[in-house]
Structure 1
Amino acid sequence: MKKALTVLAVLVASACLFLSCGNKTKADNSLEDLKARGVFVIGLDDAFPPMGYRDSNNEIVGYDIDLAKEVARRLGVEFKAQPINWDSKELELKTGNIDCIWNGFTITEERKSALNMTKPYLNNAQVVVVRNDSKFNTLADMKGASIGLQQGSSAEEAVNSNKEFKDSLAKILPFEQNLMALQDLNINGVDGVVMDIVVAEYTIKNSGFPFHTLKEALVPEEYGIGFRKGDDKLTAEVEKILEEMAADGTVAKISEKWFGTDISVIGK
């Protein structure tokens, strides 16, 4: 009997120890680990002007790049822009290839549940880009039309969430990059392209494409930065630095460089 009680006590103690260990949360060393490595790696689609793209010298530049570089400098680490397949962005983050997704990354409920998303730093909307010589003036006019969009983007999510608009279309063509979709629009391969208004207006202005955006937006959006779930310290520190940059005028200066005016919503 004594032996049986002893065995039972050992089993109970082992079970308690197991449950205790199982309930322990993983320590958040995200900020310390990044500083120890000495480099801040952001994942981006390097064909997404003006947020992040390659210039004529093949250098990765853009609004998000300038913001992130200054954040890295204030963190006391080096900066690295890592081009990724946008359709695999969450996997790149999960496997540790990048520290965050920072490239016109739209805040959604799904992403907020899977990732650490910062507060918004820029407003955006999903719109339809059409040729100037097209007959399309409203979303309803697009009935029976074909549209292009970037695969895995919030444009795809916006179309899928608008059932009436989606069902009215004849065809939806996925592209690896927005620029590819716009080039197809330029040769009448598609009738329109759904994309971010921030990117659309910048591209139209600087490319010479004979395009315009429909005034009616599919859905309003906000840009944020995506970190791994649980990387709370790093997320909070980047948010804090961005707010300091907004307060001292750095964000406004960067915004004016790329957009001609301060369109940031940080701290506003």
Structure 2
Amino acid sequence: MKKNYKKIIILVLLLINCIGFSQICNARITNNLTINNDRLKHIKEKGVLTVISSNDPPFAFIDARTNEPTGIDIDIMREIAKELGVNNIEMKVVPFVDIFDKLTTDDSIDVAVNGIAITEERKKIVNFTNPLYRESEALIVPKVSLINFKEDLKNSVIGVKIGTVYADLAEKWKKEGTIKDMVFFKSIPEIFSAIMNKQVDAGLMDSIIGQYLIFKDNLYLKKLEPYTPQAPEIIGVAVRKSDITLLNAMNKKIKEMKEDKTIKKILKKYGLGDEYWVNNITKSS
């Protein structure tokens, strides 16, 4: 009888634990579903818009002087946040390769920014806002140079950052005879240094990062023009597939910011001209 009594007590305790665990799980699931169904309301309630970025100037980065997030995309997001009734922006940093996985799995994050190109493959994973601005590769040369057109590269050695799409483009140019050779570097500042020290004749790189660093550091370099980009991209903000209300609210503000030229002013602040401006309002999600 005592053995049966002990078994009954154990079964009752196990049942209580199971019920409690089930309630906790259901509460978590319900909470996540509530956030996903109305993230816009959740953002307003917490009073902070949380973005994720890979901390790349001039797109979205932590200013070393103020320890605050800043950059083209952050400035745009601050304007959007005001429209949503939120005054604070919080930025979390992860490697770019992890951005989409983090956005779709970490419920504390609202949107992803970092000069993110809108592509068909990425649109299978997330939604994108309407386009913010355009981006492409650029050829950087000394302000006084014998290279005035792409055709002048035939006998030139160019610098390129290893592991980028621009390295692939440089490989293609070498095979086609467009350039004489190329040298790989770990960073864009290293490429700039090599150009100024005449180790290479030109650099092939991300146009916005290149032009921003030239503008910021007042370097004796320039972007080669005229030049027709071979890898143009359109930039947007990445949003979860389920956050339709938030996406619509953001697109409403983006439309206003294009009409009153706010985005153009932000681009100009970072040394970027009209060639990066996207005037048309095209649905991207």
Q: Is the 8 A contact 1:158 1:218 kept in 2?
A: no
TM-superposition CA deviations, 1:90-148 (whole Å, max 9, x none): 23323326332223222222222332122211122211223457665426726784532
Alignment counterpart, residue 95 of structure 1, candidates 89, 105, 115: 105
Runs of 5+ in structure 1 lacking a partner? 1-25
Per the alignment, residue 212 of structure 1 pairs with 222
CA separation in 1, counterparts of 2:194 and 2:97?
Answer: 20
Aligned-partner SS, 1:105: coil
Figure out how many residues of one structure are paired with residues of the other and give that number: 237
Aligned-partner SS, 1:106: coil
Per the alignment, residue 207 of structure 2 pairs with 197
Any residues of structure 2 matched to 1:13-24 within 5 Å, and which?
none
Alignment counterpart, residue 52 of structure 1, candidates 60, 79, 99: 60
Aligned-partner SS, 2:116: strand
Any residues of structure 2 matched to 1:1-268 within 5 Å, and which?
28-49=37-58, 51-53=59-61, 55=63, 57-58=65-66, 59-77=68-86, 78-96=88-106, 98-132=109-143, 136=147, 137-138=149-150, 141=153, 145=157, 147-149=159-161, 151=163, 156-157=164-165, 160=168, 164-165=172-173, 167=175, 170=181, 173=184, 175=186, 178-179=188-189, 181-183=191-193, 185-187=195-197, 192-215=202-225, 216=227, 217-248=229-260, 250-259=262-271, 264-265=277-278
Per the alignment, residue 7 of structure 1 pairs with none
CA separation in 2, counterparts of 1:201 and 1:128?
Answer: 10
Residue identity matched to 2:121: E
CA radius of gyration, larger in? 2
Please give the TM-score of this superposition, normalised by the length of structure 2. 0.65
Change in CA separation of 1:245 and 1:231 when aligned onto 2, cut-off 3 Å? same
Aligned-partner SS, 2:90: strand
CA separation in 1, counterparts of 2:96 and 2:196?
Answer: 23
Please give the TM-score of this superposition, normalised by the length of structure 1. 0.68
Change in CA separation of 1:255 and 1:214 when aligned onto 2, cut-off 3 Å? closer
TM-superposition CA deviations, 1:137-196 (whole Å, max 9, x none): 426726784532375xxxx33554787326457556364x64455455555666544333
Change in CA separation of 1:188 and 1:259 when aligned onto 2, cut-off 3 Å? closer
Aligned-partner SS, 1:107: coil
Aligned-partner SS, 1:104: coil
Aligned sequence identity (%) = 24
CA separation in 2, counterparts of 1:94 and 1:121?
Answer: 22
Q: Which has the higher strand share?
A: 1
**RMSD, aligned α-carbons:** 3.7
CA separation in 2, counterparts of 1:54 and 1:182?
Answer: 23
Q: Is the 8 A contact 1:42 1:82 kept in 2?
A: yes
CA separation in 2, counterparts of 1:41 and 1:142?
Answer: 47
